[in-house]
Amino acid sequence: MTKIAIYDSTLRDGAQAQGISYSVDDKIKIVEQLDELGIRYIEAGNPGSNPKDLEFFSRVAALKLKNARIIAFGSTCKVGVDAAADANIRSLLQAGTQAIAIFGKSWDFQVTGILRTTLDENLRMIGDTIRFLKEEGMEVVFDAEHFFDGYKANPDYALQTLAAAADAGADSLCLCDTNGGSFPEEIFDITRAVTARFDTAVGIHCHNDGDMAVANSIAAVRAGATQVQGTINGIGERCGNANLCSIIPNLQLKLGIECLPADSLVRLTSLACYVSEIANLAPNDKAPFVGSHAFAHKGGMHIDAVNKTPMAYEHIDPTRVGNRRTILMSEVAGRSTLLATINAIDPAVTRDSPETQRVMDRLKQLEHDGYQFETAESSFELVVRKVLGKYQPFFELKEFKVIVNEPSVNGVNSSAMIKIRVGDLEEITAAEGDGPVNALDKALRKALERFYPAIGDVKLIDYKVRVLDSDMASAAKVRVLIESSAHGESWTTIGVSPDIINASWLALVDAIEYKLVRDQERGR
């Protein structure tokens, strides 16, 4: 089986994405996860650019990595300066890594128009830098910046830059589609020309400005590239980098090209979620392979076919990348889909039972009112329990009041008072929060923890609001989705109302009651 060296730049190129700023602790955590996955190279930053990267390289050296090599990243020496005397080159050595990536210009326009130097001086800078680092015992990756644009403009000079790097001892030549505007056939033809000319290993580094970074990376591999650079979830500057979460399974599962150890691919979905969480980015639900919608089915005919033969509407088994099949609850899902949820609660109910029809009727009515259970399966389970008579409320709301004060003081602008009844006992509590929903959430938890201590483990991790009938202006209905988590599990609940506070309350109550139902079933 052909093998590809996966080169991850999530911590360097990915950190250049808008809104991302990793702490040193963040970077260490991601390194550990990438190494566990089986990534060969982790490009982690430029030690000459900021003190935070210097601290990172000092700390990462203490890790005992099993699979990955850490790479420090920097540019060739400056115009007119020898590599041995260049401060940035010296800082790369001080990072203490076994490998270093050096980027240099391979487009003649960039040399003369941006660096403002001669073509020969650029070749000297490339050769001198790589030769110096090799003499210091480093593994060196040469990133030929703007290579494909450079090749299309002046192929002879672009190849001269690669020759300068190869002759100086570079261990690999990475061809960069830095502007992200090339097509797969261009990438294939040019990469094939390079691999035919050089014995040095060839890599590929694509940006996604034309939405073809994944296709371009795979085209380069088919043309002979043996190293692929990219980022987890495709994060990066502008439109992002090539998405390793798509490249790796496409190469390994579709083309039989080994990228990761065979037992590591199942970690891919959890890693994608982990990196999104660390980077404080909302996960891309529609991401191929690792998104929560990647194997989600809604239409009744599709669901029926998938239940019989998954390959009818799935290009791979989702478990191979650590994902799962999701059957969405909706008015078009059909009886067989609803029956799976119903039978999990009451196995005696059949497809033709009156209970099944009652559940379908209730579902259609709720969806007419604005509910959608495609991503709120937890609320749907509670609906089914209520229709089947398998639901016992854990508490009764007597009343709540919410007050909003502006301006806020120390991040607090709202307060909530709530009165509930559990059995024969009543509880009245109050809480302050950053917004009325936050205050109401805190007050509800505070009231219930006396009776159900496990509520203290529940965290609200996402909150979404959508206006349903915008033509009604401020009287419009809103749909609120709340995602909660506890002990590594997460669930989503929904509320719909013309009043955003009431819609939020409905979703909050479902979130708490779903947790309590689950705990009750598990004997907690």
Is residue 282, in this structure, part of any structural domain at all? no
Q: Both 383 and 405 in a single domain?
A: no
- Rg (C-alpha) for the chain, rounded Å, is 28
- 3-class secondary structure per residue, 365-425: HHHHCCCCCCCCHHHHHHHHHHHHCCCCCCCEEEEEEEEEEEEEECCEEEEEEEEEEECCE
Domain boundary among 327, 357, 388: 388
| pLDDT at position 507 over 70 | yes
Distance CA 253, CA 150 (A): 33
pLDDT value for 330: 55
Identify whether 407 is preceded by a cis peptide bond (ω within 30 of 0).
yes
Distance CA 132, CA 70 (A): 19
Which of 431, 383, 433, 442 shows the shortest CA–CA distance to 410?
A: 433
- DSSP tag of 309: -
Q: Both 469 and 509 in a single domain?
A: yes
pTM: 0.71
pLDDT value for 494: 92
176, two tokens: 């960069």
Q: Both 123 and 207 in a single domain?
A: yes
pLDDT value for 327: 66
Q: Are residues 257 and 1 in contact, defined by beta-carbon separation less than 8 angstroms?
A: yes
- With the CA atoms of 115, 121, 122 and 125 taken in that order, what torsion angle do they form, in degrees rounded to the nearest 10? -110
Range of the domain at 338: 296-388
Q: Both 409 and 379 in a single domain?
A: no
Cα atoms in the Cβ-side hemisphere of radius 13 Å centred on 190: 28
Q: In degrees, to the nearest 5, what angle opens at C-alpha 269 toward C-alphas 267 and 272?
A: 105
Q: Which residue has the higher pLDDT, 34 or 323?
A: 34
Domain boundary among 335, 358, 388: 388
Q: Both 98 and 202 in a single domain?
A: yes
Spatial CB neighbours of 383, under 8 Å, sequence gap ≥ 6:
359, 362, 363, 366, 373
Distance CA 220, CA 25 (A): 34
Mapped onto helix, strand or coil, the DSSP state of residue 158 is helix
Could you tell me the CATH number of the domain that includes residue 94? 3.20.20.70
Q: Which residue has the higher pLDDT, 434 or 143?
A: 143
Class of residue 254 by CB neighbours under 10 A (exposed 0-12, middle 13-18, buried 19+): exposed
Q: Both 502 and 411 in a single domain?
A: yes
- DSSP tag of 258: B
| pLDDT at position 472 over 70 | no
Is residue 430, in this structure, part of any structural domain at all? yes
Q: Tell me the average pLDDT across 438-446.
A: 91
Q: Which residue has the higher pLDDT, 205 or 476?
A: 205
Q: Both 165 and 242 in a single domain?
A: yes
- State what percent of residues in the chain have pLDDT above 70: 94
pLDDT value for 380: 85
Distance CA 444, CA 164 (A): 68
Q: Are residues 383 and 367 in contact, defined by beta-carbon separation less than 8 angstroms?
A: no
Q: Are residues 42 and 69 in contact, defined by beta-carbon separation less than 8 angstroms?
A: yes
pLDDT value for 502: 92
Instruction: At 233, give phi and psi (nearest 5°).
Output: 65, 10
Is residue 279, in this structure, part of any structural domain at all? no
Q: Which residue has the higher pLDDT, 394 or 367?
A: 394
Q: Given its phi and psi angles, is residue 137 left (phi above 0), alpha (psi -120 to 50 degrees) or beta?
A: left
Q: Which stretch of 365-369, 393-397, 434-438 has the lowest confidence by average pLDDT?
A: 365-369
Domain boundary among 388, 414, 435: 388
Could you tell me the CATH number of the domain that includes residue 400? 3.30.160.270
Q: Are residues 382 and 513 in contact, defined by beta-carbon separation less than 8 angstroms?
A: yes
Q: Which stretch of 135-139, 181-185, 247-251, 405-409 has the lowest confidence by average pLDDT?
A: 405-409
List pLDDT tens digits, range 334-351: 556 677 778 888 888 888
Q: Both 99 and 183 in a single domain?
A: yes
pLDDT value for 337: 61
The b/e string for 214-244 (b: 16+ C-beta within 10 A; e otherwise) is: bbbbbbbbbbbbbbbbbbbbbbbbeebbbbb
Spatial CB neighbours of 21, under 8 Å, sequence gap ≥ 6:
15
Q: Which residue has the higher pLDDT, 307 or 168?
A: 168
List pLDDT tens digits, range 279-288: 878 778 899 9
Q: Tell me the average pLDDT across 248-261.
A: 96
| pLDDT at position 179 over 80 | yes
H/E run at residue 356: helix 354-368
Instruction: At 159, give phi and psi (nearest 5°).
Output: -70, -30
Distance CA 27, CA 32 (A): 9
The chain-wide mean pLDDT, for the chain, equals 90
List pLDDT tens digits, range 485-498: 887 788 889 999 99
Please state the domain count of the chain: 3
- DSSP tag of 68: -
Spatial CB neighbours of 286, under 8 Å, sequence gap ≥ 6:
293, 294
Q: Which stretch of 100-109, 136-145, 213-222, 312-321 has the lowest confidence by average pLDDT?
A: 312-321
Q: Which residue has the higher pLDDT, 80 or 366?
A: 80
For residue 311, what pLDDT band results from cuts at 50, 70 and 90?
confident
Is residue 275, in this structure, part of any structural domain at all? no
| pLDDT at position 253 over 80 | yes
Q: Are residues 282 and 275 in contact, defined by beta-carbon separation less than 8 angstroms?
A: no
Q: Both 360 and 409 in a single domain?
A: no
Q: Both 181 and 122 in a single domain?
A: yes
Q: Both 214 and 346 in a single domain?
A: no
Distance CA 293, CA 328 (A): 10
Distance CA 464, CA 407 (A): 24
pLDDT value for 90: 93
| pLDDT at position 519 over 70 | yes
Cα atoms in the Cβ-side hemisphere of radius 13 Å centred on 283: 22
Tokens 């085209």 locate to 219
Is residue 277, in this structure, part of any structural domain at all? no
Q: Both 324 and 341 in a single domain?
A: yes
| pLDDT at position 149 over 70 | yes
Distance CA 296, CA 314 (A): 9
Is residue 290, in this structure, part of any structural domain at all? no
Is residue 407, in this structure, part of any structural domain at all? yes
Distance CA 303, CA 337 (A): 7
Is residue 76, in this structure, part of any structural domain at all? yes
Q: Are residues 203 and 173 in contact, defined by beta-carbon separation less than 8 angstroms?
A: yes
